Amino acid sequence: MPNIRRLSCRHLKSVIGLAFSLLLAACAGPGELPDPPADEAIATEAEHQLTQALILRHAREYRLARVARPLLIAALELCPMHRRSEYGLRLHSIDSYTRQQRPAAHTVYGLDQRPTLRTPLPDSPAAKAGLHAGDRLLRLQGRAFTSETYNSIDTQLREMSGPLSLQIERGDSRMDLTLMPEELCDWPVRLIRSSAINAHADGREIRINQGMLSYAQGDDELALVIAHEIAHNGLQHIDKQLRNLLLGALLDLLALTQGYPSPGIAATLGIHHQALNWELEADLQALVLLHRAGVPLQPGIEFWRRLGTDFPTAIRHSRGLIHPGTAERYLRMKTAAKALQIGHSRD
C-alpha cells in the first residue's frame, strides 16, 4: 500500500505538470517580435532618462522655492516663534544623491564631494551678491570645510544669523564676500512625489504634491496653494485640531470607564470640529498674504473655479465633512479679494 500511494502521488504530479504546460501553450501571446536593442543602447537610454529626470526634478523644486519665498516673507507676523535667517544658498554635492542618481548629477553639474551652489532664487541675498550656479563653497565664517563638515552645511546655515562671510571658487578664481540675511518663516516648503492634486501643512513644514505643482498652471495659482498652507501653520490650525482630537479621545476614555463603549466617536468628531471654518479662514488669510507679496489675486481665485470644472465632485451645494465645496470657496474669496483691493485703493 505505501508503494501504491507513492506512485499515485507521482502520477498526480505528472498529470498536473502536463496540464499546466498545456494551459501555458494555449495562452495567447504576441506575434513575432523584433530583436531586442543592444545592451549598450539600453544603458545609454537609461542614463539619458535619469539625466532628464534630474533636470526636471530640479526645475520643479526651483519653481516651488521661487514662488514660496516672497510668501514666507509676507507671513512674518504669523510666525513670531518660527523664524530664521535666510541667505539664499541652495547647495548640493555628489553625496546629496542616491547611487543611481550620482552619474547623472556628475554629468549635469560636474559634482564631487565639495558643496556647490544651485541656482540662487531671484532677489535672494545670494543672487544680489552675484553668486552663480556651479560656484563652489570653500569657507564659511572663515572656516574651511572638511570631509566631516560637508554633511552638516545645511544645519550650520539654518542655525546662523547676521552677516555671513564666504569664500567662493569660480573656475580658477576665488572670491571673498559677505551676505546679509533676510528673515522669513521657518516652514520649509517641500516637493512630494505624488500624483495626487493636493498639498499639506503639519505646523512644521509644507508639502506640495507633484500633482498639484503640475496642475497649478501659473505661478499665481501655485502661490495661492502655498499661501493657503502657510496660513494653516500661521493660524495654528494643526495644533487646534490636535487639541480637539485629544479632548475627544478623553471623552471616549471617560465613556469607556463608565461602561459605554465608544469606538473613537468623540475623537472623530473632535478632529473634524471646526475643520470647515478653518479651511475658509486659511483661504481668506492666503489672500492677505498674496496681497502683501504683490501677487495678483484673481488668477488664484479662478483656480478654484477651474478645479471645480475639472473635478465636478468638488462642487457642493452643502458643505462636506472637512472641506467646503469649490463653489463656496470661489465666491467667498472673490468677495474678500474685492474688499482687499478696495481697501488698497483707498490707502
Under 8 Å CB-to-CB from 272, ≥6 apart: which residues? Answer: 321, 322
3-class secondary structure, 165: strand
Q: What CA–CA distance (Å, rounded) separates 120 from 137?
A: 13
Per the CB < 8 A criterion, the answer to whether 156 and 140 are in contact is yes
Q: What CA–CA distance (Å, rounded) separates 215 from 206?
A: 17
DSSP lists the bridge partners of residue 183 as 85
* pLDDT score at 323: 61
Helix axes 265-272, 237-257, angle to 10 degrees: 160
* pLDDT score at 153: 78
Q: What CA–CA distance (Å, rounded) separates 237 from 229?
A: 10
- Give the residue from 269, 221, 229 showing the smallest Cα distance to 247: 269
Confidence of residue 291 (pLDDT cuts 50, 70, 90): very high
Q: What CA–CA distance (Å, rounded) separates 136 from 199?
A: 34
The contacts found for 166-170 with CB under 8 angstroms, 24 or more apart, are 166/137, 166/139, 166/140, 167/137, 167/138, 167/139, 168/117, 168/131, 168/135, 168/136, 168/137, 168/138, 169/135, 169/136, 169/138, 170/132, 170/134, 170/135, 170/136
Q: What CA–CA distance (Å, rounded) separates 96 from 273?
A: 42
Residue 271 is placed in which grid cell?
Answer: 478632529
Most confident of the ranges 3-12, 150-159, 244-253, 327-336: 327-336
Q: H/E/C letters for each residue in 179-244?
A: ECCEEEECCCEEEECCCCCCEEECCCCEEEEHHHHHHCCCHHHHHHHHHHHHHHHHCCHHHHHHHH
Residue 274 is placed in which grid cell?
Answer: 471646526
Helix axes 219-234, 39-74, angle to 10 degrees: 60
At 323-332, the pLDDT tens digits run 667 888 889 8
Mean pLDDT estimate for the chain = 82
User: Would you kindly state where each structural domain of the chain is located, as residue ranges?
Assistant: 83-185, 189-346
Confidence of residue 77 (pLDDT cuts 50, 70, 90): very high
Q: What CA–CA distance (Å, rounded) separates 185 from 70?
A: 10
CATH superfamily, domain at 83-185: PDZ domain (2.30.42.10)
Angle value at C-alpha 54, between 188 and 157, nearest 5 degrees: 35
pLDDT surpasses 60 at 148: yes
Integer angstrom CA distances of residue 80 from 69, 212, 237, 264, 297: 17, 29, 16, 35, 25
The predicted model scores a pTM of: 0.80
Per the CB < 8 A criterion, the answer to whether 107 and 51 are in contact is yes
* pLDDT score at 227: 97
Q: What CA–CA distance (Å, rounded) separates 57 from 254?
A: 50
At 218-262, the pLDDT tens digits run 999 999 999 999 999 999 877 766 655 444 444 445 555 555 566
